[in-house]
Amino acid sequence: MTTATIEVKRTTHSRLKEVDFNNLGFGNHISDHMLIANYKKGEWHQPQIMPFGEILMTPAILSLHYGQSVFEGMKAFKNNNGEISIFRPQLHHQRLLKSLARMCMPAISEELFIESLCALIATDIDWVPATEGSALYLRPVIFATESKLGVKISDEYKFVVLSSPVGPYFAKPVRVKVEDTYVRAAEGSTGFAKCAGNYGGAFYPTQLAKEQGFDQVLWTDARDHKYIDESGAMNVMFVLDGKLVTPQLTSSILDGVTRNSLLALAKDMGMPTEERKISVAELKEGFEKGTLTEAFGVGTAAVVSTIAIINIAGKDYSLPADSNSSFQQRVKKKLHDIRMGNEPDTHNWNFNVPLK
């Protein structure tokens, strides 16, 4: 299959003129079109691009009742040569397959996945922003659509791809609270998968933290609340004793593509890295001794988001002020320069979208 084989039904009323590309926010605008493919009788059928809008479904579809819904999030960028590239779609596809398998949902081929992304971008090419720090966010989602109330694995699914021009997810340094009561995910559960229920279950403790003046929580392990897992919508990294340290992956932690990328770039930059357990006590000691010099969240949406305050057991601990010489800003710039074509893409991360 190629993008030329995907049927496109174009909108007769573009909403592009309604968008202020200098003030995008995150996820506030959905592009003119969406791609949809249906899974029935044991196979995925030919996708179609159509105007973004409502989808006809019954309230008995199984995803609404039993949670079979997974998604991915990635970005497309317009570089300085006017080319449009998707950042690491193959790795996003690999992670999607793991999520689908965990939720007993049918796999989708890399060909269908990437061709669908490219076809939608080509259709809504004018929605790809060129302003500094912006991107076209891509949201593929797969959910069960069989209409039945019995508890079962669905036999029917929809694959939908949406796109949205976005700016920074967090516009300023964030305040986070170490969560020592509620749990995002336990080992052996679905924490590593991008399934909808993980996010729904995280809303309440995050809301409580926001009521206390924080932006996100730092999740800890489900058993003892002694070790850091990740932060809200992001993986988390620390500069501790001059090393880049991040929690080692477990079945309760999302295998972030940005996390993976920054670890690779850190090694390129000569920065020692450690993927290991990080205890709350170690963070507290790092604050007290001055050996914890940086903390930041990383993710497709957030990219690199500076953490200014970490609250541990009711006490706020402040990180040193961020600067252009800090590691997080240097690695963020390096990642940006690779995406924009200012620096060689030695890891072959940028997937150029064919537009002809």
CA atoms 90, 92, 94, 100: torsion sign:
negative
152 with 179, same domain: the answer is no
Q: What is the 3-state secondary structure (H, E, C) of 95-121?
A: HHHHHHHHCCCCCCCHHHHHHHHHHHH
- Which DSSP string corresponds to 140-157? EEEEE--B--SS---S-E
Is 34 within the bounds of a domain? yes
Domain with residue 271: its CATH number is 3.20.10.10
95 with 207, same domain: the answer is no
Q: Give the pLDDT confidence score for residue 238 in this predicted structure.
A: 98
Sort 106 into a burial class: Cβ within 10 Å, 0-12 / 13-18 / 19+. Answer: middle
Amino acid at 158: K
In the DSSP assignment, the letter for residue 193 is: S
254 with 326, same domain: the answer is yes
Domain-ending residue, one of 119, 140, 166: 166
86: left (phi over 0), alpha (psi -120 to 50) or beta: beta
Cα-flanking dihedrals φ and ψ of residue 33, to 5°?
-125, 165
Is 347 within the bounds of a domain? no
Copy the structure tokens of residue 27.
């996820």
Q: Give the pLDDT confidence score for residue 302 in this predicted structure.
A: 81
Q: Give the pLDDT confidence score for residue 84 in this predicted structure.
A: 97
Sort 191 into a burial class: Cβ within 10 Å, 0-12 / 13-18 / 19+. Answer: buried
48 with 120, same domain: the answer is yes
pTM for the complete prediction? 0.95
162 with 178, same domain: the answer is no
Number of domains in the chain: 2
Is 200 within the bounds of a domain? yes
89 with 219, same domain: the answer is no
Domain-ending residue, one of 133, 166, 199: 166
In 188-332, beta strands by DSSP E: 216-220, 228-231, 235-240, 243-247, 273-276, 292-299, 303-312, 315-318
Helix (H, G, I), strand (E, B) or coil at 205: helix
CB 339 within 8 A of CB 350: yes
Q: 189, 198, 195, 199: which is closest to 251 by C-alpha?
A: 189
256 with 109, same domain: the answer is no
Is 282 within the bounds of a domain? yes
CA angle 268, 134, 194 (to 5 degrees): 70
Is 61 within the bounds of a domain? yes
162 with 209, same domain: the answer is no
Is 352 within the bounds of a domain? no
Domain-ending residue, one of 166, 193, 208: 166
Q: For residue 317, what are the domain limits? A: 174-340
Q: Give the pLDDT confidence score for residue 1 in this predicted structure.
A: 42
41 with 70, same domain: the answer is yes
Rounded distance between C-alpha atoms, residue 269 and residue 273, angstroms: 11
Is 356 within the bounds of a domain? no
149 with 236, same domain: the answer is no
11 with 154, same domain: the answer is yes
132 with 160, same domain: the answer is yes
Rounded-to-10 torsion of CA 296, 299, 300, 306: -10
Per-residue pLDDT of the chain (356 residues; tens, 9 = 90+): 445 589 999 999 999 999 999 999 899 999 999 999 999 999 999 999 999 999 999 999 999 999 999 999 999 999 988 899 999 999 999 999 999 999 999 999 999 999 999 999 999 999 999 888 899 999 999 999 999 999 999 999 999 999 999 988 777 899 999 999 999 999 999 999 999 999 999 999 999 999 999 999 999 999 999 999 998 879 999 999 999 999 999 999 999 999 999 999 999 999 999 999 999 999 999 999 999 999 999 999 889 999 999 999 999 999 998 888 999 999 999 999 999 999 999 999 999 999 86
Domain with residue 26: its CATH number is 3.30.470.10
Is 311 within the bounds of a domain? yes
